[in-house]
Structure 1
Amino acid sequence: MEYESNRGSLFLKVFFAFIAAVFFIYILRELRMIFIPFFIALLLYFMLKESVQKLEAWKIPKPLIMIGLLLVIFICLSLFGLLLFIGVSSFIDNFPAYSENITRVVKSVLPSLKLPILDVEQYIANFDWDKIFNPGQITALVSGTMGNFTSFIGNLLLVLLLLMFMLGEKVPMIARIARTLSKERGEELQRIVAAIDTRIQHYLFIKTMLSLITAILAALILFAGRVDFIIFAALLVFFLNYIPTFGSLLSTIFPVLITFLRYGFCLRLVLVAASLMVMQFVMGNVIEPQIMGRSLNLSPIVILLSLIFWGWLWGVVGMFLAVPITSALKIIFESIPTLKPLAAAMSGE
């Protein structure tokens, strides 16, 4: 009888936990326009907090630090926007050369496929590839992509506003919450937050340095291969490298595609693609694990599942935030006795 009662109680706990999890995921998805800027601001807060504290220790007024920080962010965003504009404009200007290469490659490949089309060579010769690959359509595509520019600016301002409030607090929110708890619980809360802070700061610092080195190496490879849009491709490598596993793969697609469009099937294409893939493999699977050490201690399958889940939940931004959020959840689970088995399952050891 007691066994049946315990089993029924466990079933109810699991059932209500499942309902709560589904409801929580629903809230995260429906209110993503609020949560995404908040988590981005929180990530930037972890990155910048220590620098702000050091500047304060040098007796620099906090309002001056905030103004300087906003100025640096504005300059970085302006440079990124300028490089993006130059890259897209250059691609549109040089597209006739790419269009000719595309036409030549397609004409050389399609006949070898032995498609069941009468007079295939004449069909290819008379086909107007410019209707498919033309600057007008590319411009329309770019315009459509930038159609949500106002929304992007609004989200950016919200992120900066949240970041300024987080960095501008005299007493952190966690410290204020800890004051309302018992001494033991307050210390435990601050210990958990400090562990999350340290681990995420360490991860972001190393990831940023490695992404920068990877982007520089990619730029050197593309320069040696005389590939177009080197700076834009290097920027893609830098930002996509924050996405584990998938990011390094995605970052090689653009430069390899540009090399193919510019030079077609040739030894240069093979060398550029092979060099980029070998470099990404060494940086991601040899150097990064050695430097990163056990700072995250997350299982590779957990990282992969977190990328899929947060990518489904919040898109590309979710993939950028997946590892820091999962690492923070693991630290929280480690501090709750009933969730310690789940934390152990997430561990990489």
Structure 2
Amino acid sequence: MSELTKQLPFVTAFPHAVGTGIILRTDQSIMPELREHLESLIDDMESALSRFRSDSIVARMAEAPQGGTFAFPDWTTGLFDLADALVTESKGAIDPCAGEDLIRLGYGPDLSFHMDADAPQHLGTLHGRPTWRNDIQRQHSTLITKQPVHLDFGAFGKGYLVDLIAEALQTWNGEHASPTTESTTPNTHQPPITQWIVDAGGDVNIHTIEPVTIALEDPSNADNAIGIIRMKNGSLCASSPSRRHWADNAPLPLHHLINALDGMPVTDTAASWALAPHIFDPQAGINTESETNRSLNPKLLCYPTALADGLATALFLGYGKHIMLSSHCSGATLDSQRHATIFNGFPGTFFLNDGQQASENTSDTM
């Protein structure tokens, strides 16, 4: 029996969730009532935010010819707070409105994987595509538009769902309702879950007593690891086009990691990783006066996996240092020449060819 199996012997799978599936490893078995609760949470997330569901709120926004007022569930406020921060930090290179660019590149709800012939004339903010800052009026969890807007929260939405699941595991007592559901079905049979790994296609929230070893996937060969990291209380996310790219008669390889400014896939980064510590205790609250939190919206620390997910995307695009430093996060990138760079003391170990060593980024800018 492996070390991980001994520590977390129970496995629960949601194979169709958010396109990648979600796997939970826990120290206690998940009873039917809690599983139903988690399934409801996942469905609520997708029905609000999935652009691949025709009945979702974001799908209605995309089909509204004159725009409108769209009330999202209250639990999306944290997601929208993170969107505000990442759009600002990346100077617009990350933008939920880039869903329109992804559709033009072939990654739309129909999954055609065929780029529109006139896409280069329309892609990105540079060609007048709506933006989060200029074309979305936000009032907490309500978004107001004046035209069709194609939102995509793939840069950090999956990490946000992982955090909601981890919170449900930690706080479930049978009468607790998660932020996405009104259910208060009593349950007296669920043993307290004190250790877990929530894994949504590589976006991982870990809370264990003993460290576990996580492989850093080689972007050129998913069967190989390019490094490892050992951790026990944090969230680790990665960005890479290795599992989501498509061939087309395009002048460059097409994938989903695009710079929202020009709408084009980034080609000089092969992979990125971001690690966010779990420094927020939902029972104790947040110390907003601490040095850690002074330059960061403290609400974002409630969602470490979403933060790591967004930071991995930002690092892939060449941004993210300010948020990383102000939140005690760390990260790493692998460029197209397979040179690794670490940021803010990322604790992973890389296995590089020809005796190469990962270099530490010490510049003030990225």
* TM, length-normalised to structure 1: 0.25
Bigger share in helix: 1
Bigger share in strand: 2
* TM, length-normalised to structure 2: 0.24
- Greater radius of gyration (CA): 1
